[in-house]
C-alpha cells in the first residue's frame, strides 16, 4: 500500500503529506518539479521518515512517472501538481497550459498504462484523485445559490480554464477507459506554507514589513475560505469513501469579501504584533487597479460531501485565521526564505 502524491512541496500538497503522516503510516512517494511555488522546506519535518520518499520531477515526464509507478506500485495517485496563481496566469498563461493540461494528460496516460497491468482486485481498488478548484464554475451573482457539483463549468481566467480542461480530461479517462477517478473542487484555502503571492499570506507579510496592503478594485469580491487542514481531511475522506467517477465540492460556508478578510488580518495583527507607533495595520490598506476579468463571487455548496461522506470542517474562519497569523508570526524565516529575487521581481511587476 503506497500513495503517489504530486505537487507535494507546494502549499496544499505539503500540508496534505504532513496531515497524511499525522494520521497514517502508509508510505507515500512525493513527486514535485520544485517550481518557484515548490519548497522542500515545507516537508523538512519528514526528514528521516522511512515512509516518505521525495522525487524531484515533472508530472509530464512520462519515463520518470512510468518508472515510479512500476517501482512503487501505488494504490492511489493524488494530483496536486499545478500552476495555481490567477494573476500569473493573466501575465503568462503558457506554463498553466503546459502543466495543468498537458502535464495532467501525460500523467493520466502513465496511470492508465500502469492501471491496465494490475490484477482484478488491485485494479478495482485503485484511485486517481484529482485536486481541483471552485474557480472552474465561474463567477456567481450576489444572491445566486452556491456552486453545487451540477453547476456548469464557466471558467474565466487562464488558470481556471486550464484547471477545467484537466477536470474534463480526468472525467473522460473514467468514461472512456474506466479509470477509477475522483475529483474534488475546493474553495480558497489558507493556512501554513501558503506562498506570499496569494492574498492572505501577502497581506500578513506586507503588514509586518510596513508595506501597503493592496486591495484590487473595490475589495467587495467574495471568496469562500477553508483552512487548509480541513481541505486535507476532506481529501482523505474522499479517497477513502468517494464514489468512483464522481466529483465532490469542498468548502466551509465561509463567504467573505476581500476587504473583510484584510481588515480581519489587520485586527488580529494589531492584537498579536502591534505596530511600534500604536496605529492600526488598517492604515496600510491601499485600493489598487483591479485584476482583469476579476471573478466577483465564489461560494461552495458542500452538502454532498457532508451528507454522503460525513465530512465537516474543524475550523471556523475566525479560528483558522488566528492559527494562520500565529504561524506566519512564528515562521518569519520561512517567508524570508521564499521571498527570493524572483519573488521580489514578481511584486515589482504586479504592484508598481
Is 134 catalytic? The answer is yes
Contact with ligand NAD (CB under 6 A) among 60, 158, 180, 214: 60
Using the contact rule CB under 6 A, the part of the chain among 29-37, 144-152, 241-249, 295-303 near ligand NAD is: 29-37
162 binds, among ligand NAD, ligand TYD, none (CB under 5 to 8 A by kind): none
Is 135 catalytic? The answer is yes
How far apart (Å, rounded) are the C-alpha atoms in residues 79 and 92? 23
Closer to ligand TYD at the Cβ: 128 or 190?
Answer: 190
130 binds, among ligand NAD, ligand TYD, none (CB under 5 to 8 A by kind): none
Using the contact rule CB under 6 A, the part of the chain among 44-52, 214-222, 228-236, 305-313 near ligand TYD is: 214-222
Instruction: Report how many helices (DSSP H) and strands (DSSP E) the chain contains, helices first.
Output: 14, 12
Q: What is the DSSP string of 85-105?
A: -HHHHHH--HHHIIIIIIIHH
Least distance (Å) between residue 51 CB and ligand TYD: 32
Residue 32 as a binder of ligand NAD (CB under 6 A): the answer is yes
Q: Cα separations (Å) of 209 from 71, 121, 352?
A: 47, 56, 17
Q: Tell me, residue by residue from 247 to 266, as one string, x for binding to ligand TYD by CB under 6 A and - for no binding.
A: -----------x--------
The torsion of the CA quartet 186, 192, 196, 199, rounded to 10 degrees, works out to: 50
Residue 10 as a binder of ligand NAD (CB under 6 A): the answer is yes
* Active-site hit among 19, 32, 83, 134: 134
Q: What are phi and psi of 191, to 5 degrees?
A: 145, -165
Is 83 catalytic? The answer is no
Closer to ligand TYD at the Cβ: 30 or 157?
Answer: 157
Q: Tell me, residue by residue from 285 to 324, as one string, x for binding to ligand TYD by CB under 6 A and - for no binding.
A: ------x---------------------------------
Binding residues among 125-154 for ligand NAD as defined by CB under 6 A:
131-133
Closer to ligand TYD at the Cβ: 39 or 206?
Answer: 206
3-class secondary structure per residue, 35-83: CCCCCHHHHHHHCCCCCEEEEECCCCCHHHHHHHHHHHCCCEEEECCCC
Which of helix, strand or coil describes residue 34?
A: coil
**Extended strands (E) in the chain:** 3-6, 28-32, 52-56, 76-79, 127-133, 181-186, 188-190, 213-216, 222-227, 247-250, 255-257, 285-288
Using the contact rule CB under 6 A, the part of the chain among 21-29, 96-104, 213-221, 245-253 near ligand TYD is: 213-221
Q: How many residues does the chain have?
A: 352
Using the contact rule CB under 6 A, the part of the chain among 2-10, 205-213, 257-265, 307-315 near ligand NAD is: 2-10
Beta pairing, strands 127-133 & 181-186: parallel
Residue 206 as a binder of ligand TYD (CB under 6 A): the answer is no
Q: Which residues pair with 32 in a beta bridge?
A: 56
Residue 254 as a binder of ligand NAD (CB under 6 A): the answer is no
Binding residues among 186-205 for ligand NAD as defined by CB under 6 A:
186, 188-189, 195
| Angle formed at CA 78 by CA 17 and CA 244, multiple of 5 degrees | 135
Least distance (Å) between residue 19 CB and ligand NAD: 13
- Please report, as ranges, the residues that interact with ligand TYD according to CB under 6 A: 86, 188, 198-199, 202, 214-216, 221, 223, 258, 291
Query: Looking at the annotation, which residues are catalytic?
Result: 134-135, 159
Amino acid at each position: 500500500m503506497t500513495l503517489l502524491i504530486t505537487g507535494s512541496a507546494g502549499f496544499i500538497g505539503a500540508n496534505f503529506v504532513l496531515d497524511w503522516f499525522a494520521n497514517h503510516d502508509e508510505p507515500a512517494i512525493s513527486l514535485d518539479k520544485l517550481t518557484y511555488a515548490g519548497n522542500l522546506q515545507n516537508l523538512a519535518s519528514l526528514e528521516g521518515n522511512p515512509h516518505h520518499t521525495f522525487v524531484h520531477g515533472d508530472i509530464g515526464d512520462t519515463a520518470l512517472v512510468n518508472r515510479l509507478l512500476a517501482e512503487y506500485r501505488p494504490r492511489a495517485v493524488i494530483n496536486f501538481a499545478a500552476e495555481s496563481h490567477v494573476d500569473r496566469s493573466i501575465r503568462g498563461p503558457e506554463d498553466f497550459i503546459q502543466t495543468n493540461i498537458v502535464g495532467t494528460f501525460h500523467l493520466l496516460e502513465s496511470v492508465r498504462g500502469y492501471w491496465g497491468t494490475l490484477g482484478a482486485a488491485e485494479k478495482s481498488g485503485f484511485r486517481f484523485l484529482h485536486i481541483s478548484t471552485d474557480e472552474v464554475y465561474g463567477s456567481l451573482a450576489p444572491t445566486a445559490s452556491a456552486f453545487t457539483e451540477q453547476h456548469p463549468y464557466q471558467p474565466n481566467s487562464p488558470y481556471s480554464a486550464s484547471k477545467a480542461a484537466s477536470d474534463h480530461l480526468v472525467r473522460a479517462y473514467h468514461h472512456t477507459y474506466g479509470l477509477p477517478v475522483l475529483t474534488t473542487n475546493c474553495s480558497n484555502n489558507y493556512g501554513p506554507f501558503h506562498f506570499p503571492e496569494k492574498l492572505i499570506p501577502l497581506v500578513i507579510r506586507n503588514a509586518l514589513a510596513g508595506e501597503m496592503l493592496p486591495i484590487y478594485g473595490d475589495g467587495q469580491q467574495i471568496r469562500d475560505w477553508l483552512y487548509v487542514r480541513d481541505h486535507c481531511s476532506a481529501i482523505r475522506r474522499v479517497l477513502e469513501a468517494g464514489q468512483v467517477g464522481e466529483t465532490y465540492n469542498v468548502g466551509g460556508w465561509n463567504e467573505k469579501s476581500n476587504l473583510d478578510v484584510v481588515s480581519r488580518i489587520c485586527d488580529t495583527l494589531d492584537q498579536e504584533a502591534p505596530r511600534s507607533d500604536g496605529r492600526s495595520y488598517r492604515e496600510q490598506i491601499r485600493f489598487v487597479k483591479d485584476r482583469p476579468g476579476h471573478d466577483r463571487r465564489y461560494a461552495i455548496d458542500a452538502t454532498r460531501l457532508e451528507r454522503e461522506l460525513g465530512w465537516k470542517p474543524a475550523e471556523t474562519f475566525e479560528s483558522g485565521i488566528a492559527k494562520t497569523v500565529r504561524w506566519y508570526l512564528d515562521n518569519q524565516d520561512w517567508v524570508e526564505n521564499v521571498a527570493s529575487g524572483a519573488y521580489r521581481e514578481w511584486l515589482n511587476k504586479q504592484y508598481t
